[in-house]
Amino acid sequence: MAHPKLSARQYMILGVVSVSAPLGDTCLSRGMTSLPAISLAHPLTLIAAVFTPWIALGIALLIGFFASYLTALSWADLTFVLPATAFGNMIVVLLSRFWLHETISYQRWLGAVLITVGVGFVANGPSLTERPAPAAELEPAAAVREEQAR
Amino acid sequence: MTIPYPAPQPGPWTAAAMIAAVVLSSTAGEVLTAAAMKSIGDLDEIRAHSGMKGAIRAVVTCPLFFAGVSFLAVAFFALLLALNHLNLSLVAPASASLTLVTNAIAGKFFLKENVDRRRWISAVLVCIGVYFLAH
């Protein structure tokens, strides 16, 4: 089941992982900063926070992230999926600049370029570590070779 | 009991401990989840053979998956707590970049993934990039 090159659908799943995680985190931050500070002595207040609108929206986005993330992990290595999906940070910078008209410093552009180069590095490599096939899968091939030898 | 809003900013050690809790629990969760998904196999192929129900059944009947989700749940509440006391511009990049490095190490030693030079360079570039984004 090795996939040296990803299909368009698999790239789309990695795109969903990239976009839904930063959007979900932003919603969580928006929700948590609007709440009073929560003490570790009363952890139940953290559970109550889950039912506030921004945090609920953040959780919905993170559920979408998790479903696509699990799918990606079923056909690619963890050390491939994580850097590849860091491209979401770049998307956030572009949205901030061109949609929210925020001023982006040179340092942030440099950060975005480094992430893009890093993603390009890993995305051009193999997505899955190739492992030797189990003996059960090798047996039919061995049988064919024996047949040919005879 | 709730502390009056806005909360005082915690000291550097407390902030580091909050971020470390997020990084360690999410690394454990991600490694266990990745191991679970590798043991299950390609979800696209399972869905093609057994439908969506079959794919969901394959995931939810895997014990490793639940171990991973438990750690990810701990990481989620650690993140909520950190976001309640620290700025998103500190927590998100710091936890994301540190998790990349700890996952590369864990991927090599626990998942036996081929973390070649290309993946190390990528992890370091993304890590530095995330650091710059936070400034």
Interface of A with B in 118-137 (CB under 8 A): 118-119, 121-122, 124-126, 129-130
Contacts of A122 in chain B (CB under 8 A): 118-119, 122
Residue from the list A46, A112, A122 with its beta carbon closest to the beta carbon of B80: A46
Question: Quick one: what percent of chain A has pLDDT higher than 90?
Answer: 5
Inside any domain, residue B110 = yes
Provide the 3-class DSSP secondary structure of residue A82.
helix
| Residues belonging to chain B | 135
Number of domains in chain B: 1
Structure tokens belonging to residue B99: 């998790």
Inside any domain, residue B102 = yes
Inside any domain, residue B2 = no
Structure tokens belonging to residue A84: 């590849």
Inside any domain, residue B4 = no
Inside any domain, residue A135 = no
- Axis crossing angle, helix B117-133 with helix B88-109, rounded to the nearest 10: 170
- First CA to last CA across chain A, in angstroms? 31
Which residues are CB-contacts of B91 (< 8 A; sequence separation ≥ 6)? B18, B19, B22, B79, B82, B83
Q: What share of chain A is helix, strand, coil (3-state, %, to 5)?
A: 70, 0, 25
Contacts of A37 in chain B (CB under 8 A): 2-7, 84-85
Inside any domain, residue A17 = yes
Higher-confidence residue of A136 and B20: namely B20
Inside any domain, residue B34 = yes
The residue range of the domain holding B51 is 12-133
Q: In angstroms, rounded to a whole number, what is the distance separating the alpha carbons of residues A115 and B35?
A: 26
Inside any domain, residue A80 = yes
Inside any domain, residue A57 = yes
pLDDT band at B33 (very low <50, low <70, confident <90, very high): very high
Q: Which amino acid is at A92?
A: V
List strand residue ranges (DSSP E) for chain B, in order.
2-3
Residue A95 contacts B, CB cutoff 8 Å: no
Neighbour tally for A25: CB within 10 Å: 23
The residue range of the domain holding A122 is 8-129
Inside any domain, residue A75 = yes
CA distance A145 to chain B (A): 28
Contacts of A119 in chain B (CB under 8 A): 122, 126
Tell me if A112 and B129 make a contact (CB, 8 A cut-off).
yes
What are B42-87's pLDDT values in tens digits? 888 888 888 888 888 888 888 999 999 999 999 988 988 888 888 7
Q: Could you report the predicted ipTM of this complex, rounded to two decimals?
A: 0.72
Question: Quick one: what percent of chain A has pLDDT higher than 70?
Answer: 75
Residue with tokens 């491209």: A87
Inside any domain, residue B5 = no
Inside any domain, residue A12 = yes
Q: CA dist A109 to A4, A89, A96, A118, B100, Å?
A: 31, 11, 12, 14, 20
Residue A71 contacts B, CB cutoff 8 Å: yes
Number of domains in chain A: 1
